[in-house]
């Protein structure tokens, strides 16, 4: 039997979002097959980025193997590779999207891994429509309308109904996530806030600042530096010091020197540096900070079920490890990819009414602290993962 590609599918996915998000779904179905439903995926599965992409694919395959039929339909899995010369490629993503659009047995896909690939795929798949659920995209402009978003989410979908969902928190929620952590866990009250003055860095610092002041924190200094022309941060550090800052927040990517800032704090101001995934978990940051690399805190978008020893995820992780036993079979977004697949399978099994724009309502962020002596993890230590309910 031919399965009509449901306009409706996007809606059940949204509904499941509100209820399941980041958990494991239950199995449904059984009985004789009424037909075949194909779930696709799009990840960088060759070259250097395969270390992330292959485990993501395996996780989808694993989820499908757990749920081989649903309400009488057989589920199959078809992976796509969006890497060219080892690097994720938006053009290749768009090509894959066109292929998927032409194959009527494919009803939905998991992925992609990278925001710029998603940006290329959304317009093609929104027109079909074909639902996408990404475990890893964090660019806020894929779903949220800000003045600096080009194109705006509605333009990206070209007037079609939304088909895009994700379980990663967005960049605009990262700043608030660290504000909450600094306030509630680290118990600080005075912040010095800086940024590299770029879209991501400044945005994340602005959102940090908004949340921080709303929590009652004091901002002793706020300055945005010109990353290309600045290598002397001592005056900034001095301004933080003279205001009595208990910690520094820098919205920046590693290349824009936040960790060099930390290196120069040595002997002047001995307080923690905090920041977004622009430098969190990046071994280069630890190198940049030299012998002052302790006491750096960072967030990443999404939970870390393995390092976090999540008891709810334990049985799934163990089962997955039985099938895929190599250490390299688990990478950053592996179980997020599994969750996305489960979510889709669940959504396919339902037909409920649903809501708006494809982001999760309770994004989870993981917190990491620098740990320079631990070379096995690139110099970072997992602290915790927390849901951030009251995003700005």
Which residue's CB is nearer to another protein, number 121 or number 221? Answer: 221
Q: How far is the CB of 210 from another protein (least distance, A)?
A: 18
Region at 290 (left for phi over 0; alpha for psi -120 to 50; beta for the rest): left
Other beta carbons within 10 Å of 295: 16
Other beta carbons within 10 Å of 320: 22
Which residue's CB is nearer to another protein, number 284 or number 309? Answer: 284
Q: How far is the CB of 203 from another protein (least distance, A)?
A: 15
Measure the CA–CA gap between 230 and 185, rounded to whole angstroms: 32
Q: How far is the CB of 352 from another protein (least distance, A)?
A: 49
Which residue's CB is nearer to another protein, number 204 or number 383? Answer: 204
Which residue's CB is nearer to another protein, number 229 or number 325? Answer: 229
Q: Do you know the residue count of the chain?
A: 392
Cβ-based neighbours of 275, under 8 Å, separated by 6 or more: 178, 249, 250, 251, 252, 258, 296, 297, 298, 299
Q: Are strands 273-275 and 164-166 parallel, antiparallel or unpaired?
A: unpaired
Cβ-based neighbours of 306, under 8 Å, separated by 6 or more: 317, 330, 335
Beta bridge partner(s), residue 109: 40, 132
Q: How far is the CB of 297 from another protein (least distance, A)?
A: 20
Which residue's CB is nearer to another protein, number 36 or number 238? Answer: 238
Which residue's CB is nearer to another protein, number 61 or number 289? Answer: 289
Q: How far is the CB of 283 from another protein (least distance, A)?
A: 11
Beta bridge partner(s), residue 370: 380
Q: How far is the CB of 298 from another protein (least distance, A)?
A: 17
How far apart, in Å, do the first and last CA atoms of the chain sit? 47
Which residue's CB is nearer to another protein, number 226 or number 353? Answer: 226
Q: How far is the CB of 304 from another protein (least distance, A)?
A: 25
Measure the CA–CA gap between 379 and 144, rounded to whole angstroms: 33
Which residue's CB is nearer to another protein, number 162 or number 264? Answer: 264
Q: Nearest CA to 149 among 158, 140, 137, 160? A: 140
Binding site for another protein (CB under 8 A): 197, 223-226, 228-232, 234-236, 238-239, 242-243, 255, 257, 260, 263-264, 266-268, 284, 287-291
Q: Nearest CA to 63 among 46, 45, 77, 73? A: 77
238 vs 221, 264, 266, 288, 380, CA distance in Å?
Answer: 10, 11, 12, 20, 27
Which residue's CB is nearer to another protein, number 159 or number 267? Answer: 267
């Amino acid at each position: 039997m031919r399965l009509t590609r449901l306009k409706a599918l996007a809606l059940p996915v949204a509904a499941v979002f509100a209820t399941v998000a980041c958990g494991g779904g239950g199995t449904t179905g059984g009985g004789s097959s009424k037909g075949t439903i194909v779930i696709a995926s799009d990840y960088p599965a060759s070259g250097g980025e395969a270390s992330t992409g292959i485990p993501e694919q395996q996780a989808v395959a694993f989820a499908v193997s757990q749920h081989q039929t649903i309400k009488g339909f057989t589920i199959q899995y078809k992976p796509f590779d969006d890497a060219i010369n080892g690097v994720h490629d938006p053009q290749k993503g768009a090509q894959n999207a066109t292929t998927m659009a032409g194959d009527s047995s494919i009803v939905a896909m998991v992925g992609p891994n990278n925001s710029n690939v998603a940006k290329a795929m959304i317009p093609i798949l929104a027109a079909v429509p074909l639902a996408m659920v990404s475990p890893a995209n964090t660019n806020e402009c894929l779903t949220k309308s800000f003045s600096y978003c080009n194109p705006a989410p509605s333009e990206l979908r070209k007037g079609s109904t939304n088909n895009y969902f994700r379980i990663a928190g967005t960049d605009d929620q990262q700043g608030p996530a660290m504000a909450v952590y600094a306030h509630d866990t680290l118990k600080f009250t005075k912040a010095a806030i800086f940024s590299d003055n770029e879209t991501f860095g400044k945005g994340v610092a602005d959102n940090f600042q908004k949340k921080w002041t709303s929590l009652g924190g004091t901002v002793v200094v706020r300055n945005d530096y010109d990353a290309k022309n600045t290598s002397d941060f001592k005056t900034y550090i001095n301004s933080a010091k003279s205001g009595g800052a208990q910690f520094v927040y820098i919205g920046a990517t590693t290349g824009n020197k936040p960790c060099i800032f930390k290196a120069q704090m040595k002997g002047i101001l001995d307080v923690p540096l905090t920041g977004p995934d622009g430098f969190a978990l990046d071994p280069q940051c630890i190198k940049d900070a030299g012998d002052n690399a302790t006491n750096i805190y960072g967030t990443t978008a999404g939970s870390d079920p393995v390092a976090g020893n999540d008891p709810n995820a334990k049985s799934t992780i163990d089962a997955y490890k039985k099938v895929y036993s190599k250490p390299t079979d688990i990478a950053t977004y592996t179980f997020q990819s599994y969750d996305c697949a489960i979510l889709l399978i669940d959504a396919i099994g339902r037909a409920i009414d649903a809501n708006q724009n494809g982001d999760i309502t309770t994004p989870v962020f993981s917190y990491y602290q620098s740990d320079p002596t631990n070379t096995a993890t690139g110099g970072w230590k997992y602290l915790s993962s927390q849901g951030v309910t009251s995003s700005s």
